[in-house]
């Protein structure tokens, strides 16, 4: 039995509609596929998806948005870093610590808010997020 989705059979419009649908199994993967195909087409879909009440979709949308418009992704992070669900926070840190380097002087407040969210870590997932952040930006690691 083959459970793979034949994404090539979907048009960009179909992927956009699926990404914004309530299908929790396919919306995030559809958005990721759309982002791989065309960041220009995916950008407005990702912006809409960030407003949905689906943390997995928000995380996918943030990753897609960062590829096409890092400044818009950073703006979203600035507004939501203190309240984002952990899965979205993980995506945020992946964007700034793995996929894109940010200007630490310009983003000092954002980086401080990240540290405030993950230090001291409450569990192993927060520890992993903190570790990723501190590997890219070691000077942020608290000394105590």
Q: Are residues 61 and 119 in the same domain?
A: no
How far, in Å, CA of 19 to CA of 32, rounded? 9
- With pLDDT > 90 as the criterion, what percentage of the chain qualifies? 95
- What domain count does the chain have? 2
Neighbouring CB atoms inside 10 A of 86's CB total 16
- Per-residue model confidence (pLDDT) at position 3: 73
Q: Are residues 85 and 63 in the same domain?
A: no
- Per-residue model confidence (pLDDT) at position 75: 98
Q: What is the mean pLDDT of the chain?
A: 95
**Do 93 and 129 meet the contact criterion of CB atoms below 8 Å apart?**
yes
- Per-residue model confidence (pLDDT) at position 37: 95
Per DSSP, 133 falls in state H
Q: What is the DSSP string of 60-90?
A: HHHHHHHHH-HHHHHHHHHHHTTT--HHHHH
Domain range for 57 is 1-68
Q: Is residue 74 part of a domain?
A: no
**Over the stretch 27-62, which tens digit does the pLDDT of each residue have?**
999 999 999 999 999 999 999 999 999 999 999 999
Residue 108: is its pLDDT beyond 80?
yes
């Amino acid at each position: 039995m083959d459970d793979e989705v034949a994404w090539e059979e979907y048009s960009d419009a179909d992927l956009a509609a699926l990404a914004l649908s309530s299908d929790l199994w396919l919306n995030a993967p559809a958005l990721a596929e759309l982002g791989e195909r065309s960041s220009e087409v995916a950008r407005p879909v990702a912006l809409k998806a960030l407003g949905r009440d689906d943390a997995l979709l928000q995380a996918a949308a943030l990753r897609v948005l960062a590829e096409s418009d890092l400044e818009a992704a950073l703006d979203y992070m600035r507004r939501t870093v203190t309240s984002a669900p952990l899965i979205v926070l993980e995506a945020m840190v992946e964007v700034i610590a793995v996929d894109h380097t940010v200007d630490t002087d310009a983003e000092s407040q954002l980086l401080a808010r990240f540290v405030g969210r993950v230090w001291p870590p409450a569990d192993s997932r927060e520890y992993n997020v903190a570790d990723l952040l501190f590997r890219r930006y070691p000077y942020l690691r608290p000394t105590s």
